[in-house]
Amino acid sequence: MKKLDKKGLQRLLQIIEITKDEEYCCDECYEHLDKFAELIRAGKPAAEIYPRVQQHLEVCLFCKEEFETLLKALDQTD
């Protein structure tokens, strides 16, 4: 029987804690990511306006990584 290691178990429990019945999948989050990024950069309450995007980025570290890179990239397009 294969078991999660410490890192994996800890991470699983962290995301179980923030699991919602309805969540965006990756493409649903991606659909709104440009608007979300602009709100963040403008200092507006992005998480309140797009709570499901915020939640997805807390759960999905791969989308979060892309989003953080997008923010850095946008600094270069100004």
Rounded distance, CA 38 to CA 36, Å? 5
Burial class (CB in 10 A: 0-12, 13-18, 19+), 4: exposed
Instruction: Return all residues near 19 (Cβ < 8 A) that are at least 6 apart.
Output: 59
Find the binding residues for another protein in span 38-77 (CB under 8 A).
38, 60, 62, 65-66, 69-70, 72-77
Site for another protein contains 15 (CB under 8 A): yes
Number of residues that bind another protein (CB under 8 A): 42
Q: Which residues of this protein are in contact with another protein, per CB under 8 A?
A: 1-17, 19, 21, 23, 25-28, 30, 33-35, 37-38, 60, 62, 65-66, 69-70, 72-77
